[in-house]
Amino acid sequence: MNTVLAAEAGSTTARNLTITLFLIFVAITLAITVWASRQTKTATDFYAGGRSFSGFQNGMAIGGDYMSAASFLGIAGIIALYGYDGFLYSIGFLVAWLVALLLVAELLRNSGRYTMADVLAFRMRQRPVRTAAAVSTITVSIFYLLAQMVGAGALVALLLGIKPGTTFLGMDADTAKVATIIMVGALMVIYVTVGGMKGTTYVQIVKAFLLMGGALAMTLLVLAKYKFNLSSLLGDAASASGKGAAFLEPGLRYGVETPGDALKTFYSKMDLLSLGIALVLGTAGLPHILIRFYTVPTARAARKSVLWAIGIIGTFYLLTLALGFGAAAIVGGQAITEQDRAGNTAAPQLAEALGVDFLGGDLGGATLLAIIAAVAFATILAVVAGLTLASSSSLAHDFYANVMKNGQASERQEVNVARISALVIGAVSIVLSIYAQNLNVAFLVALAFAVAASGNLPAILYSLFWKRFNTSGAVWAIYGGLLAAVVLVFFSPVVSGAPTAMFPDHDWQWFPLSNPGIISIPFGFLCGWLGTILSKESDEEKYAELEVRSLTGAGAH
């Protein structure tokens, strides 16, 4: 009896602590946003933070934007459930930064103003290219937003102690998750509509510090528990996972050997290759990362910010190893999947277990869980703000100002449309997220990477490096790659025909891979080449001007 009462008291304390910390963080970030709104006077302030951030500040903000719920919750969960195969996400997300640094960071900063489409449309007909870029930006952002919202729903159910069969304030687990998704959606719209890029950037910088601190503290506690003996940590993780030695070897999730079924084995290996291609190429096509390069005053600062980001992000992804294997060893695979089938709550569950061990009793567990959960919330809120800003900026600047108004819209009209767009995008994301709750958030982000690499990357690279490239090629590349990726995902086991699909009770899947990148990315490049070759349009003078601008920064705003 006493034990039951103590457990109930512990869970009530955890709830109160978590809600208090969460409300404190929301209050601080809203204060930053209101302060930033007073500094936001022009379109440049709203879209690019007045280009006033240093390389270090922008590097922290990029880190804050990139280390999303997928990184913290999703990767830790996927490592905890699949061991070695989960670590592939950490490697892929990190290596992707080298592609972004080498191919696009500085050139984009030099040749654009506010959005990715500024670069694409520079040497082409404005209307068709900007329309295509706006459609692509919104599609990629919504895929990415799904991951953050699903992570938020899973996190809150854990924090409030809501498991299947239990309730909180009259809500069951599913209702509580939906309510959380709606709340996060409302907050992200407020951040963007009120604070613009300045508010969003400062929220991301604060969040990057919190996330690095939280991940580092948990890593040190995991290692301290095992007396810094990695061998015994991995051994315990393998035995607690229920998968034995296979947990530390490739082949649990990807590249699975199916005896007697060569075709199924082949598809599994192709899925792994497809995932790798999407992760490595996706970052250089992500709109919410690309617009961060416009917030710095010079190309040198753009390079510096990417170097800072690589250092911060690289360190963080090394820490996810300890978090994932630590969760497998200390919490156990069964306890993780009981709370969340996709493993999205592994890191917070690990925090609770470490709190019990090191801070003593249920109150210690509740305290550390509350702190890490507040950090995870900070992560989700900062990233959704960045994503919403990227997509609403593209709608307002590319589609409204340059397509509908033919460049005649005033700055005030443009910013107002961006704010209305944020509301619409937030609403769409909320509705879709409610159906995506069975999916692992790292996996959802991998899909966003595949869509970005299929639709945006071919157009960006061709535009920067191919003299013959033209309007027709850009439109074909964006729509072709985008359509291929979205159609293949829709007819894959991600959406139907599998127990973990968005619609598990339906089956219309015919594409066997979960990751479309291996087909859709080459298809995007092929469409861009074909569209260019079949059109006679060419403007070599404009290309020469873009080349000079992209390499020197001359004439850049």
Q: In this predicted model, what pLDDT tens digit does every residue of 180-226 receive, in sequence order?
A: 778 777 777 777 677 666 777 777 788 888 888 889 999 999 999 98
Least confident of 44-48, 180-184, 460-464: 44-48
Which residues face 496 on adjacent strands? 503
Give the CA distances from residue 99 to residues 95, 96, 106, 283, 387, in Å, rounded to whole numbers and listed in that order.
7, 5, 12, 8, 21
Residue found under tokens 């598809």: 267
- Using the predicted structure, report yes or no on whether residue 15 has a pLDDT greater than 70: no
Higher pLDDT, 133 or 33: 133
- Dihedral (Cα; 197, 199, 203, 208), 10-degree rounding: 40
- Using the predicted structure, report yes or no on whether residue 553 has a pLDDT greater than 80: no
What percent of the chain has a predicted confidence (pLDDT) above 90?
8
Which residues face 171 on adjacent strands? 168
CB 305 within 8 A of CB 313: no
pLDDT of amino acid 402? 75
pLDDT of amino acid 5? 43
What percent of the chain has a predicted confidence (pLDDT) above 70?
86
pLDDT of amino acid 6? 47
Residue 308 binned pLDDT confidence (cut-offs 50, 70, 90): confident
- Rounded to a whole number of angstroms, the CA Rg of the chain reads 23
pTM score, whole prediction = 0.79
Higher pLDDT, 93 or 511: 511
Q: What is the rounded distance in angstroms from the CA atom of residue 210 to the CA atom of residue 9?
A: 28
Residue 554 binned pLDDT confidence (cut-offs 50, 70, 90): low
Q: In this predicted model, what pLDDT tens digit does every residue of 121-132 receive, in sequence order?
A: 777 887 888 888
pLDDT of amino acid 155? 73
DSSP, residue by residue, 185-246: HHHHHHIIIIIHHHHHHHHHHHHHHHHHHHHHHHHHHHHHHTTT-HHHHHHHHHHHHTSGGG
- Using the predicted structure, report yes or no on whether residue 4 has a pLDDT greater than 60: no
Total Cβ atoms within 10 A of residue 56: 14
Output phi, psi for 250, to 5 deg. Answer: -65, 155
CB 331 within 8 A of CB 350: yes
Q: What is the rounded distance in angstroms from the CA atom of residue 379 to the CA atom of residue 230?
A: 28
pLDDT of amino acid 526? 95
Is residue 167 within a helix (H) or strand (E), and if so which, with residue range? strand 167-168
Total Cβ atoms within 10 A of residue 257: 11
Output phi, psi for 459, to 5 deg. Answer: -65, -40
pLDDT (average), residues 342-360: 85
Q: Minimal CA–CA distance to 436: which of 500, 385, 506?
A: 500
pLDDT (average), residues 487-504: 81
- Using the predicted structure, report yes or no on whether residue 50 has a pLDDT greater than 60: no
